[in-house]
A and B are shown apart, each in its own frame.
Chain A
Amino acid sequence: MKKILLAAFAALVTVSTLAHAGPKIEHWVAPSGARVYFVETHVLPILDVAVDFAAGTVYGAPDKTGVAGLTRSLLEAGAGSLDEEHISAKLVDIGARMSGSADADRAGMSLRTLSSKPEREAALELLRTVLAAPTFPESVLVREKARAVAAIRESDTRPDSIAAKRFAAAIYPNHPYGASATVESVERIGRDDLVAFHRDNYSAKRAVVAIIGDVSRAEAEAIAQRLTEGLPAGRADAAVPAVTKPARDTLKIAHPATQSHIHIGAPAIARNDPDYYALLLGNYVLGGGGFVSRLMQEVREKRGYAYSVYSYFAPRKLPGPFEIGLQTKREQAGDAIKVVEEVLAKFLADGPSEKELAAAKSNLVDGLALRIDSNAKILGYLSAIGFYGLPLTYLDDFPAKINAVTTKDVKAAFARHVKPEHLVTVIVAAD
């Protein structure tokens, strides 16, 4: 049967409109000072735009954690002469989708619209207005603070949220990466704080504009300039404190849940670290590769200890976390942690086997095409390339960078970035 299938393969594959290599990315700096990343594709009559700013939680005052997220979410609460009802109604009337996101490093808005001119123009005008001229109405702020406080109180009863917050605080002591919004920090935030945070951080120089879709280069240039020319002048990048690594520790937090929620990890790498590829591959073998990873095999497949067990590196501007996570029946938490620790210790001592590394390379290289098979996915890469200053050829270079990594490289990279003396274990619902 195999022979027949191989012969059929030739007929199966037709010509693709997106080639195997990465898409052609165009880059320029708009007159406003914003950095722009653009892919032209006319296959679908849609346009996606994302504008990201260096406006994440690290740029907020330490006693007002939550200001970055509130500023971002209130962009849509009123802008120019429009109130929040006008903004949401206008978007719906033209079939456009606008959404926002805010993480530790960045915050921004993305827009998806039909590319036909009336819809596109109206959608871009709305995006321009909310980015440049938010009004931060006091009444909306009062309401949204109340909702944020209620959400915090609720999340502080949930074992997964408690575990995530306590883990971040434990591995980033005295660093904004470890801070979560609290009832107190949100209650301290006033309208002036939002106005100031926007004025300081939502500037063209701090912005990356990503554009993909059914527009020409000239149109994309005009769009990028239009979206960023009216932004506030902003400030130079504020100094963010350096990350210091915590001492090895175990925190047990009481909770009545049936499962213990376990996080083990430490700060690891920044996005521009040359060890990125070695850690990506190594983590695939350890706990990133879904069903085939070592953690999945040992914890779930062999022992049935957990439905979900994983590890990841989340590189940021400054060293982001390495984390292993799982949930398991509380009575067996100790046994499960022991297995995880053994898997990790063995991996740190020996690194991956040649066979495992080859399988990881195969997945990451051959899977690249799947990670860039839609406009939405490519948009995410454009933003990341811009924000973290990755080369324009990042996607094209990816296979060669991955293939150059050896088992020795992986072992050495893990030895540099995942040190047992810094690993913190957080257990919520521990017996």
Chain B
Amino acid sequence: MSKSSSKVKAGQLWSKNKDELTKQLGELKTELGQLRIQKIVSSGTKLTKIHDIRKSIARVLTVINAKQRAQLRLFYKNKKYIPLDLRAKQTRAIRRRLSKEDASRVLEKTKKRQTHFPQRKFAVKAHLRKAKYPCRFGSKLQTVLSRCRCKLLLLLLHLFLDSKLHELNLGERHHHPPKATMSADPLQALASAGKGKSTRSVLRVIILALIAGAAVASRLFSVIRTCPVLYWFDPWFNFRATKYLVANGFYNFWDWFDDRTWHPLGRVTGGTLYPGLMVTSGVIYHALRALTIPVDIRNICVLLAPAFSGLTAIAAYLLTNEMTPSSSAGLLAALFMGITPGYISRSVAGSYDNEAIAIFLLVFTFFLWIKALKQGSMLWGALCALFYGYMVASWGGYAFITCLLPLHAFVLICMGRYSTRLYVAYTTWYALGTLASMQIPFVGFLPVKTSEHMPALGIFGFLQLLAFLDYIRSAIPSRQFQTFLWLFAGGTFGVGLLGLVIATSAGIIAPWGGRFYSLWDTSYAKIHIPIIASVSEHQPTAWPAFFFDLNMLIWLFPVGVYLCFQQLADEHVFIVVYALFGSYFAGVMVRLMLTLTPVVCVAAAIAVSTLLDTYLNRKSPKPEDSQTVEGAEGKKASKSGLKATSKPVVGVYGLWGKGMVVSALAVYLLLFVLHCTWVTSNAYSSPSVVLASRMPDGSQHIIDDYREAYQWLRQNTREDAKIMSWWDYGYQIGGMADRPTLVDNNTWNNTHIATVGKAMSSSEEVSYPIMRQHEVDYVLVVFGGLLGYSGDDINKFLWMVRIAEGIWPDEISERSFFTPRGEYRVDGEATETMKNSLMYKMSYYNYNNLFPAGQAVDRMRNVRLPDVGPTLSTLEEAFTSENWIIRIYKVKDLDNIGRDHMSAAAFDRGHKKKKVMKKRGPRVLRVD
């Protein structure tokens, strides 16, 4: 007993055999029995041992059992049947699971439902519904598409080189037939040339189609990533106007008076916009409807820009073909035009802006102009004028054409290249084009009244003189003509100049517009017209932007211009003039990079194709042997020929040199394609209304505050609630929230904008009456402090101040928003004016509550904010979006017992405090 009283260890038991175990079991059991008796008698002392012994028994039993099972296992090892409890088991859950067949059984009703209403794999989201998470299918599609695109471009390049080689083999004979060959076998040469020509034209068409396809495809990133959503500002207005046009017809659109913008004033929208874009999409819409293809007008708007970019590529091809006989230059130009980021920046899907179609029109008008000039044909001139009219209807940048064509004509005249062709082309274009441009109500009489259009008129008159002189010269001997010319030219010039000066000073011809001055003096706008300078796309271009937007084209561009100088026919002069003009303006304004891009593409294409032609086509200089010359044409054929007459060729004629240059060029082209894809995908394909950001784990996170807020406005405010915001957001509010606004992106009324600026930048006492007068119901501000979003109103605030100061210099002063040390601060050291301004208060109202006390931080400007946030008494917070980007405040009505808002608010606050004080104060019994 005493021996077994100690605890049994399982480790010791394993070594014992069955009998010993049974024996020990018996001993333990008896001991347990004795202990139990003792327990009943309650005489024993070691009752606590009962527990140990029970455990010991269990251990012994366990070991016995395990040994038994081990024996049985051995016994059954190779038997056919094993007892159930010895077989391997799965987990309980698995054993109890339904069989596959049972699990897949479905009720009849469910089955029907599934067949009739299958789950949609992906849905095109309505533009106002929130797209928080991009659907999985979309991302898959995206990868597939980007892969396809890469392949497409590679294929293109391949095809291009192919055609190049092809041209070498077959076409070369046709283009510059060496005399020896011609005399040797003219028949054969003709036959092969004919065959080559047709093959090449087929190839060319295919390549062009592919380029257009690539141009369209590369602009679809944003559609695939998020959903078909329109971009930033202007597209929303254009979209709204298009909807109006489609719904109400053309004539109503023409006379459209919009009372939902510029609140008390309204806007004569039909007369103050360029209708080309809306009419184009309206026409497409109705055409598709007529073909019984039901398409939502929104999708047309989103996809219009990519579609037109395909056309632009083709127009670039045509334009370049006029410049050089080599057809590869045209194809290259089309390719460049199709994928250059400088153009993509304004033509991705969803950027439904005037530029979307205007660049196509620009390039095509230039093509028609060159064609008209070369042929001296009235018909081409008229076509040019018609497209010029279309351009005028579409974009304010038409002035670029209006200035460039006269400049070209003028340069030609100065070079002594006046020709009757120039006369026919220019006068036809001017007479018809000016009339066409005057049809647009927004342009109206400008072509005869403003100075921007005067050069065109002047050249028109000048050409008449020249034509007259030309006639006289042919009529009389040259001595007489000399004297005549001097008298005549001097007299007319004097009279003309006098007339112009008088007309300008008398105010018949308007002086140059502000935007025009800002083109010459980049700081002009900053000083005189803050509203123009405040737009970021009117800033001067930064140097890296050129490389970013044009990549390798920017260094090929001068080469192309140089090559134009070498030939210098009329059309090459055009490229040179355009290049100079365009580069200057692209340097002045970021936005005008767009007008430079076509000429860069054309010039670069000329450069590349000349290089390729030089290195692929150059024949060995052995004129004495016609056999060799002929052999050198076709590369494959050349091998034997060259070897037969073998002399090692050196320099550009060697295979090595050719190979090196061509492959280097191919690498550059590839890099260019990669760069373009990268830029397009990363820089130009976020719709800005929906901000895409990356989570720390690399997944995409979509910040959709704008649409959230606009949807809130749409659903929670009255139909005619007036929203006051800075003008940047006017179009969006009009388009997405469908509420009237005070000011919007059509900045036609500077004073009205300044009024809003004043309301934003003054204190509440001043701005409340302003808001009441304009019947403002809600005020919307954009605040990026929480998210670190840079385009917010505090960053734009100085422009509001400046614009307001321009109208009320006595009441608003920019200086008072800067600290004495000249810093623009928003933290505790901000100036009093700043802290009291409505904008500051609205931005930071309640912002402190997000953070632990004393730790409020503005992440955009990286400053710590004061502990006590601003208080608002005339506004109340109505809505703040998820990431605090948009904050909407409701303007309080007048106090119903006639107090002013300050005291009412103070009373509210004070009231609470008093209550607290009362509770804490000593209670006193009231004694009567």
Partners in one complex: no
Using a CB–CB cutoff of 8 Å, the interface residues on chain A facing chain B are none
- Chain B interface residues toward A at CB < 8 A: none
